Structure 1
Amino acid sequence: MPLLHAMLNVVYLAMQLFTGAIGVYQIVMSLFGIWHKREPIRHDPAKRFAVIIAAHNEERVIGPLIDSLTAQEYPKALFDIHVIADNCTDHTADVARRHGAVVHIRTDHEKRGKGFAIEWMLERLWSSNVQYDAIVMFDADNLVAPDFLRIMNDKLIEGNKVIQGYLGVKNPFDTWVSVSMAISYWYSNRMWQNARQNLHLSSSLGGTGLCIDMALLKEMGWGATGLTEDLEFGVRCVERGIIPIWAHDAVVYDEKPTTLLASMRQRLRWMQGHFHCAKHHMVPLLMAGIRERNFVKFDAGVYLFQPARFLILFLTSLMLLLQISTPHTSLMSHVASFLPTDFWVAVNVFLYLQMPLALFLERVNWKAYVGLILLPFFLWTWGPVVFQAYFTKTNRRWAHTVHKRAIRLDELRSR
């Protein structure tokens, strides 16, 4: 038993140090997300965009997305909408054509998934006679705010190469799962992404609402065909010294799963891709950050070190539970505590209070505050998702998320 107690001490102390460090790190970083002032649009339209939409059986939702794009406050001659009908067995291509998009039929049952579809589409664009200054990527279930391309035009003219737009949710109040996901995104947008933008650190790429300078893309190549193609590309940018920035006012609305099973399946795919990417890039980024005294690279490595920002909340909550239960458990009674219970109480309080603060700062509907009651239950589901993802991280098979809500942009504003 003494050997077992010694081993438990080492594991438990390591868990405390790791969890305490990332908890405090996130609290400090999030303070820089409080400030945001909407920037005026300074430049006239000049950049030409190729808008790319990778779609697999999305006939129900792709029409409203294309309509929101054709309604952009940007000259029609300066952007083209390209839809990849990727291994579709429904009427996605017909619906996209009817709404005014250029449709590209792709059939490849071996190389399945969004990353492969984008790579295929880029090759077609580069071999065409049309010259674009940048590409913008959207998922088929999205809706796009009217000033999105105007803002991206501004950012590109100012010299930025990779820009991530604001990730909103178009169906936040469908179920307790969708509102929990929405709260997670409102929090991430404000206290994670906006904070890092204010600190001039790298934005985390979200795979949709993403703008990339075409010259950079040709130089680097896409090369991101995993389950989280956005993360892969963003990490490669940081390694090259290119900082993806956050455009808080360029809004994209995304459909979120409404059932816990669908949500966990989607998050499992994210985490599998995250672990795969971390395996190849985490240590080099951390080492480069320390060696070069480059906080941008170090912070990107820290992000890869913890597989999900909401895992921080799960881990700190678990640590608090272990700390409280330790005196009552015979096996844990011999385990030493490096950090006191009061520390874990304070960390959890500060982390959870960031949620309502983010909602207040983002001026979201009052219904979201009701969702805070069930949010802890949702956050705890990250635990089994991450655990399963770690042991299945070699999986490279793309799992399609079914989208059903054909909401239009004008309906969204009226809510």
Structure 2
Amino acid sequence: MSLAGLFAILVIGLNLLALPFLALLLVAAVSAMTGSRRTAVPPEPETRFLIVIPAHDEREGIARTVESCRAQEYPAGLFGVLVIADNCTDETAALAEAAGAEVLVRNTPDRRSKGYAIEYLIERLQESGRFDAIDALVIIDADTFATPDLLRKFDAKLREGNDWAQCYDTVANPDASWRTRLMTYAFSLVNGVVPYGLGRLGVPSPLNGNGMCLTTRGLRRVPWRAYGLVEDYEFSWTVHRAGEHVAFVPDAAVKATMLEKGGRAAAAQRQRWEAGRKDVKRRLFGEVLRDREMGLRERLVALVQLKTPPTMKLLTLLGLLTGLNVAALVALGDPTAGPLGWILIGACALSVATVGLYALSPFVAFGVPWRYLGVLAYVPAYGLWKLTIGTRRKPADWVRTAREPAAGDGAARRAVAAEAAE
């Protein structure tokens, strides 16, 4: 066999390896683009919520986050706002209390992370008996603005019988820089299109940590036990493997302020997310593979999800694969002369169609402005940067991401205010 034929066979093998990921993206994109994101809201809300904001040295923005949570279009008697001042060395607790939040101070330096803070709160609520007077906890990050209809939409989902829910987690300052525009686009894929599209087909949504809703009834069945670098992702799989379903709420959002620039802070944040997810995926893959209590379809989907690379890495790799397909077709000379060429033509068409639909799905399904199309030019460079993150040393423990106090704050507040006025 010629070198061109061997090269074509090698590329076809790579296409076979990529096929499960292409299928996942294609199904998610088509499902999301053909669905309606509207949540039917009951006229009279009844769920009793406690909005919880874990905060470690967040004096720059904690008051604004509390104000956003207190501005919910929901009966005041049915919800409260509590800030966990977690091992703080600044004025976070005082500023949160002045903004109208209840404050729980936690000082446990040897158990630092959002996961430990949430467990601490649940234990205090249970000890006081208050846990029984609450229907659900809503966890929101301390650099986040919540849309005013968040609790109404969660109330609707919980009254459908769901005990776990996740809203759309996106960016508060999308136009601050090219990086925040790209993050907005990426979040719309990872936190919007995929959970919404797959959720319409019965696949559970992941919990993102920011904007997740946990009922007290659910927590009695599946207690919170997640403390790692990505406690939300870890607990998602605990819930999933317990046979329970996380519902996705596509038309309510929490909007977090992203770093405008790259540099060490962005790299450290991304490294923590990447390393934490990689560890959880590595540990769970074998466990899910051997889990006979999961149905075959559910297990196959879970295994593909656990092996799927982060979105920007995946898109970059699929772009490289498309390039290899084209190179193999050129090397064959006349690709229509034999079966290898036709297989490569089909593989190339599938990858181009899948990546194209997936790339366009945020604009159709989640209303990302079409002017953001230009930011896709940064995807290859950003994807390659993310590939280098995986080669760095894993973080030893959780470290707070540095904030940019003025980064997009005015734009973020205007965006949330505009949604409240609609």
TM-score class normalised by the smaller sequence: 0.7 to 0.9
Other-structure match for 1:171: 173
Other-structure match for 1:73: 73
What letter matches 1:274 in structure 2? Answer: R
Instruction: Check the 8 A contact 2:169/2:192 in 1, yes or no.
Output: no
1:99, 1:359 → 2: CA distance?
36
2:11, 2:87 → 1: CA distance?
48
Other-structure match for 1:237: 239
Per-residue CA deviation, residues 45-99 of structure 1 (Å, 9 max, x unaligned), is 2221121111111111111111111111111121121111112222111110111
Does 1:379 pair with 2:383? Answer: yes
2:294, 2:364 → 1: CA distance?
38
Other-structure match for 2:398: 398
Give the superposition deviation at 1:308.
1.7
Other-structure match for 2:150: 148
1:163, 1:218 → 2: CA distance?
16
1:376, 1:412 → 2: CA distance?
31
Give the superposition deviation at 1:158.
1.4
Instruction: Check the 8 A contact 1:274/1:304 in 2, yes or no.
Output: no
Alignment size in residue pairs: 398
Per-residue CA deviation, residues 213-247 of structure 1 (Å, 9 max, x unaligned), is 11221332211001111111110111111011100
Aligned identity (percent) is 27
Other-structure match for 1:274: 277
The within-5 A match list for 1:127-142 is 127-130=127-130, 131-142=133-144
Give the superposition deviation at 1:42.
1.7
Instruction: Check the 8 A contact 2:115/2:226 in 1, yes or no.
Output: yes
Runs of 5+ consecutive residues of structure 2 not aligned to the other structure: 1-5, 332-339
Say if 1:21 and 1:308 are closer, same or farther in 2 by CA, change over 3 A. Answer: same
1:264, 1:64 → 2: CA distance?
26
What letter matches 1:354 in structure 2? Answer: Y
Q: TM-score, normalised by structure 2?
A: 0.85
Give the superposition deviation at 1:146.
0.9
Say if 1:153 and 1:94 are closer, same or farther in 2 by CA, change over 3 A. Answer: same
The within-5 A match list for 1:221-370 is 221-261=223-263, 262-288=265-291, 292-323=294-325, 340=344, 343-344=347-348, 346-370=350-374
Instruction: Check the 8 A contact 1:43/1:154 in 2, yes or no.
Output: no
1:143, 1:243 → 2: CA distance?
26
Say if 1:41 and 1:368 are closer, same or farther in 2 by CA, change over 3 A. Answer: same
2:398, 2:10 → 1: CA distance?
35
Give the superposition deviation at 1:413.
4.3
Q: Secondary structure at the match of 1:259?
A: coil
Give the superposition deviation at 1:36.
1.7
2:204, 2:385 → 1: CA distance?
27
Runs of 5+ consecutive residues of structure 1 not aligned to the other structure: 1-5, 330-335
1:327, 1:72 → 2: CA distance?
57
Does 1:212 pair with 2:202? Answer: no
Per-residue CA deviation, residues 11-67 of structure 1 (Å, 9 max, x unaligned), is 877644322331233213321111124122125222211211111111111111111
2:234, 2:104 → 1: CA distance?
25
Deviates more, 1:49-58 or 1:317-326: 317-326
Other-structure match for 1:63: 63
Deviates more, 1:106-115 or 1:14-23: 14-23
Q: Secondary structure at the match of 2:309?
A: coil
Give the superposition deviation at 1:346.
4.5
Cα root mean square deviation, aligned: 2.9
Per-residue CA deviation, residues 302-360 of structure 1 (Å, 9 max, x unaligned), is 2111232333212212223445567999xxxxxx9996266246414531443234223
Deviates more, 1:364-373 or 1:144-153: 364-373
1:284, 1:22 → 2: CA distance?
20
Say if 1:324 and 1:269 are closer, same or farther in 2 by CA, change over 3 A. Answer: same
Q: Secondary structure at the match of 2:391?
A: helix
Other-structure match for 2:111: 111
Give the superposition deviation at 1:145.
0.9
Other-structure match for 2:47: 47
Instruction: Check the 8 A contact 1:177/1:378 in 2, yes or no.
Output: no
Q: Secondary structure at the match of 1:340?
A: helix
1:232, 1:292 → 2: CA distance?
18
2:391 to 380, 388, 391: 388
Q: Secondary structure at the match of 1:381?
A: helix
1:233, 1:195 → 2: CA distance?
21
Give the superposition deviation at 1:110.
1.5
Say if 1:53 and 1:108 are closer, same or farther in 2 by CA, change over 3 A. Answer: same
Instruction: Check the 8 A contact 2:325/2:347 in 1, yes or no.
Output: no
What letter matches 1:56 in structure 2? Answer: H
Other-structure match for 1:31: 30
What letter matches 1:215 in structure 2? Answer: R
Q: TM-score, normalised by structure 1?
A: 0.87
1:338, 1:282 → 2: CA distance?
34
